[in-house]
Amino acid sequence: MKIRSYQGTTPLLGERVFVDPSAVVLGDVEIGDDASIWPLVVVRADMHRIRIGARTSIQDGSVLHITHAGPFNPDGFPLLIGDDVTVGHQAMLHGCTIGNRILIGMGSMVMDGAVIEDEVVLGAGSLVPPGKTLQSGFLYVGRPARQVRPLNEKEMAFFTYSAGNYVRLKDQHLQEPYSQAP
């Protein structure tokens, strides 16, 4: 089963959300309207909450998790993802905050307590260390991620284009018989 309750909490899906049958969405998760969760994604909110915004796309093989509250981190870190975000294949997002209109490149990793402000491109394979903030309006690349340059107008327009493209694609997938199974 792809949508799983955990200790009495069931994930909440907005309107027209697509969750691939091979994905797992577990626990205290809320997914906004027109979002898409693609094959082999794991969204595991068993010790804190995960929120995924509207028109956000989580690509194949990505892992989304949280940081629990405990003696070394009294409040823990939820995973919060804004609207119109495209998360590339095999990304790992762990207890971080992702703003709106973001592109996270394939194979990137964003660690506990990191913050990516609105309108950022994080290049493929990048690592955002714990607690680091990436400022709005820039391209970041590397391990650890470093600010490279401001985004141009074409790159800024790509955020909503990419989000819209995945909304159209998930709508096509929602029409396929396999997505109608319980």
CB neighbours of residue 82 within 10 Å: 21
CATH number for the domain spanning 157: value is 2.160.10.10
Residue 30, SS3?
strand
- For the chain, the domain total comes to 1
Q: Does the CA dihedral 50-126-169-84 come out positive or negative?
A: positive
The pLDDT tens digits of the residues spanning 43-56 come to 999 999 999 999 99
- Cβ neighbours of residue 30 under 8 Å, at least 6 residues apart? 11, 12, 14, 49, 50, 51, 52
Q: Is residue 181 part of a domain?
A: no
The pLDDT tens digits of the residues spanning 102-140 come to 999 999 999 999 999 999 999 999 999 999 999 999 999
Q: Is residue 141 part of a domain?
A: yes
Query: What's the pLDDT at 1?
Result: 55
Query: What's the pLDDT at 127?
Result: 98
**Could you give the CA distance from residue 92 to residue 108 in angstroms, rounded to a whole number?**
6
Query: What's the pLDDT at 72?
Result: 87
Q: What's the pTM value of the predicted model, to 2 decimals?
A: 0.95
Q: Is residue 117 part of a domain?
A: yes
Query: What's the pLDDT at 180?
Result: 65
pLDDT in tens, the chain (182 residues): 599 999 999 999 999 999 999 999 999 999 999 999 999 999 999 999 999 999 999 999 999 999 998 998 899 999 999 999 999 999 999 999 999 999 999 999 999 999 999 999 999 999 999 999 999 999 999 999 999 999 999 999 999 999 999 999 999 999 998 876 55
Structure tokens at 49: 């909450």
Query: What's the pLDDT at 81?
Result: 98
Q: Is residue 172 part of a domain?
A: yes
Q: Is residue 17 part of a domain?
A: yes
Query: What's the pLDDT at 92?
Result: 98
* Domain that includes residue 40, residue range: 3-176
Query: What's the pLDDT at 181?
Result: 55
Alpha-carbon distance values, 144 to 69, 101, 167 (Å):
25, 22, 31
Query: What's the pLDDT at 22?
Result: 95
Q: Is residue 182 part of a domain?
A: no
Q: Is residue 92 part of a domain?
A: yes
Q: Is residue 75 part of a domain?
A: yes
